[in-house]
Amino acid sequence: MPWRATPEDNIRWVFDSDIDNTDVAALAAVPAESMNIPDDERVQLQ
């Protein structure tokens, strides 16, 4: 069974200090596009 992140998981990304912020934003957009927060959890976050 593949590992799946849950709201309780804390995923830490470590980048070299000379990486461009644009590269980091582009990489972060990849999982963000596939994330689906249930409506009841979204309301709690607001």
* Cα–Cα distance, 1 to 44 (Å, whole number): 30
* Cα–Cα distance, 32 to 36 (Å, whole number): 8
* Cα–Cα distance, 32 to 27 (Å, whole number): 9
In the predicted model, what is the mean pLDDT of residues 15-26?
86
Q: Nearest CA to 36 among 3, 7, 2, 1?
A: 7
Quick check: pTM over 0.85? no
Across all residues in the chain, what is the average pLDDT? 77
* Cα–Cα distance, 35 to 41 (Å, whole number): 13
Non-local CB neighbours of 45 within 8 Å, separated by 6+ positions: 37
Per-residue pLDDT band at 41 (split at 50, 70, 90):
confident
